A = this chain, B = another copy of it.
Amino acid sequence: MKLLEERIVQDGRVLSEGVLKVDQFLNHQIDPALMQAMGEDFANYFEQKGITKVITIEASGIAPAVFTGLSLDVPVVVAKKNVGITMTDELAAADVYSFTKQQNYTISVSKSVLSKNDTVLIIDDFLANGQAALGLMSICQQLGAAVAGIGIVIEKSFQTGRSLLEEQGADIYSLARIRSLENRQVEFVEENLSQH
């Protein structure tokens, strides 16, 4: 997605060979018009898949996910890291390992919002090691829901996430695929530049 790649070049900052800071438009400060364009792009790619629900993880996945849900006209489920006092229904849960924080966290989804009748699109802001998406796939599997695809805002293609998810048979669509962050430069995967 050319609009997103241009924005990454303009406002992103490479903090190290593995870390891209995009908190001016995606994480900490959010550009709603960009989110809307991203949601439309995800919906356009997955529109023939019979999606009944979008799912994401709080907090950074929520903005792209709600615009995708709006475009597909389906509800959005937010897997919770912190289970509040109102989540009184039975839960499905999965442990996710964070390489950044070097620890596990648990994500939870109420059984009342996802079932075997659902065909799910997973949306997340980053794909690096794929652990968050694998956790969401596990929850969908536990609840009998089919995973129709995975939509990613920014894929770090130099990490192992995509291949891990493709081994599970996932159809992954990333709006920006980064080949390298070496020398504090963002280099995109070339096919992406030509396709979008």
A77 touches B33 (CB 8 A): no
- What total of chain A residues lie within 8 Å of the partner, measured CB to CB? 41
Residues from chain B with Cβ under 8 Å of A95 in the complex: none
Q: B28, A70: Cβ atoms under 8 Å? A: no
Further contacts, 18 of them, CB under 8 A, given A32-B70, A63-B76: A15-B86, A19-B85, A21-B88, A23-B87, A24-B112, A28-B77, A29-B76, A30-B66, A30-B69, A30-B76, A30-B78, A32-B66, A32-B67, A33-B73, A58-B59, A59-B59, A59-B78, A85-B100
Q: Which residues of A contact B (CB under 8 A)?
A: 15, 19-25, 27-33, 35-36, 58-59, 62-63, 66-67, 69-70, 73, 75-78, 80, 84-88, 100, 109-110, 112-113
